[in-house]
Structure formats: structure tokens, C-alpha cells
Amino acid sequence: MRADRRTDGRLPGLIEFQQKVRSIGKREAIRRLRLARARARADLARGAAWPALERYFLIVGHPRSGSTLLAALLDAHEQIGVAHEGEILRVAVDGGSRRSLLARTGHHCVEFRRLGFEWEGYSYRIGDDQGRPAGCRVLGDKSAGRAADLLVDRPDAVEVLESIIGLPVHVVVLERNPMDVVATMLRKGGAHLHERDVIDRHRRRVEAVTALRARRPLATQVIHHVELCADPARALTEVLGALRVPPSAEYLEAAVRAVDPTPSRTSLARDWDRETLDAAARLCSSTERLHRYLGELDELADARR
């Protein structure tokens, strides 16, 4: 999803404000806008913006795996609010209260809207319901790699979060070809990263998630980045089914329009170290959900010969 702008140069919030100015006058429109914002900030700050909150979810996985895209797509649902890099698991294990966790979720959701839904040169604008968490039935946090890193040291972190907020916590694991993840991290991270260190850290995240799935099989589901891109309607319907939130036809159509059906294969542009390829092959062979990537690893090995 490349960064783009509206053809008329105006954001939806500005259009709504201009319509109010025409109907009730500029002074009254500004007064109502300031009052609405003050009330919303107060509700978010005290974690009281969700009287009908039913469940919470986490997007867990790896950096550069498409988690921001998945979070944006879910946040576009009118009944779901998703924090962008809220690090809710970390706050929970550090002793955060229910109020602080919900307030932090709302704050990070709204902040992503203030950024224009743009992240590292890409636009994640899907629809007008994004970044509006107040009143949602379901809240979530996308911290992906950071959440998985925490699970390495605190395998009980999800249970801690669940006990604090008093709601069922569902975990969505987003997987991508490990070599594509590593290649993108190396390209973005600069010369200080070494591919063997990156693949080893990736392995530790995979093992932490595997242990989580073994403990919570009914509350953890796996979505593959390639499937999300190829058929976003189906992938989102699966996730929303687990969250017990029905999707509308309009919502799914907007999601399909927003997703590039051909994900980038960044691993093909790199000359890989033999030991890195072997480490990735061992990881995929020993992890059932990663078996599907063994063929792609063979392609990389053949290209190296």
C-alpha cells in the first residue's frame, strides 16, 4: 500500500467540519468540535469509552510481516479499534491497570489517525471508521515483533493481560516467509544487522508463539501474509469470526481494494549465506505452520548454486 492522497487534497475530517460550518456557522462548529474532542479525550483517559467492550485481541508475529496492514484492515471495521504499536503486553506485565491499558489502546489508535495512517512511506488508510475507537465492542493492539519478543521472556504475558482486563484475549499470529522477513529487516535496518543474528531472533519468536499456541489452541489463530494479500476478504472473515464481529459487504469490498494481491518477495534480491539458509530450513522443517515455505527456501538455495 503506497502512500497516496485524496484527489481533492482534503482529509475526511476536514470535509465533515466544512459541512458543519455551512449548516450551523463557523463559531458554533468550532465550539462543538472542541467540546466533542474534550469529551473524547476525557473518556479515553479514564478508559471509560467502551461500555460494551466484549473482547481484546493481539496481533503477534514478526517485524516486516504485514502486521500494520492487518491492523489497519481490522481497525477499519466500525466495531473494532486497534492500537498501533501500543505495547499493551509490556504494560500489562509491568503492572498496568485495566484503565491504563484501555486508555493506552485508545490513545495509540487515535494517534495513528493523526499520523494520517501513514507509516514508513506507506498509506494504510482504508475507510472513515479507522482511528475511532470509542464505543467499539472489540479492541486490540498491534505490536507484532515486540509482543513476540516479550513472550520469549514472559510466556505468561497473555494470561497476565487477560487477568487484568477481565476479558477474553484472542491472539492473531501473522506469518510470512522467514527469509522475506529477514531480507526486509536487513534492508531497512542497515549495516549493523547480521543475517544470522536476525534469523536466530526470528527463531526465538517462532518458538515462543509455538508454545503459546500449544497452551491456548482455541484462542490463537495463524494468518499467513500471502493469504491475506491473495484473498483479504476470506482472511479477514476468519479473524472477525474468531472475534465474533460480522463483516459487512461494504467493509470487505473496501479491504479488497486496499490490498496489493502480489506481496513483495524481498528475499529474491539478496545473496544469502549458506548457514542462514540452512537455519531457516531447519526452522521451517521443525514448525508445522512454516512447512509451506520450504519450497521457496529451495528456490533460494538453487539460485545460490
Closest CA to 106 of 130, 126, 82, 122: 82
Res 43: pLDDT: 52
User: Cβ of 194: how many Cβ atoms within 10 Å?
Assistant: 12
Res 28: pLDDT: 75
Res 21: pLDDT: 61
β-strands 55-60, 80-84: how paired? unpaired
- Helix, strand, coil shares of the chain, percent, nearest 5, are 60, 10, 30
- What is the grid cell recorded at 89? 503486553
Res 186: pLDDT: 85
Residue with cell 516486516: 64
Closest CA to 259 of 234, 229, 289: 229
Closest CA to 74 of 99, 100, 56: 56
> What single-letter DSSP state applies at residue 219?
G
- Please give the Cα distance from 41 to 34 (Å, whole number): 11
CA within 13 Å, CB half, 23: 8
46's enclosing H/E stretch is none
119's enclosing H/E stretch is strand 118-119
* Domains of the chain as residue ranges with CATH: 9-45 (no CATH), 49-263 (3.40.50.300)
* DSSP track, 100-115: HHHHHHHHHHHHHHHT
Identity at 189, one-letter amino acid code = G
CA within 13 Å, CB half, 12: 12
* DSSP track, 6-19: -TTS--HHHHHHHH
Res 12: pLDDT: 40
Res 7: pLDDT: 32
Burial class (CB in 10 A: 0-12, 13-18, 19+), 159: middle
What pLDDT tens digit does each residue of the chain (305 aa) get?
433 333 333 334 444 545 666 677 777 767 766 665 565 555 555 555 677 899 999 999 998 888 999 999 999 999 999 999 899 999 999 999 998 899 889 888 888 888 888 877 778 888 888 888 888 999 999 999 999 999 999 999 999 999 999 999 999 999 999 999 988 888 877 666 788 888 999 999 999 999 999 999 999 999 999 999 999 999 999 999 999 999 999 999 999 999 988 888 888 888 888 898 999 999 999 999 999 999 999 988 887 66
Res 44: pLDDT: 53
Three-class SS of residue 172?
A: strand
The pTM (predicted TM-score) of the whole model is 0.82
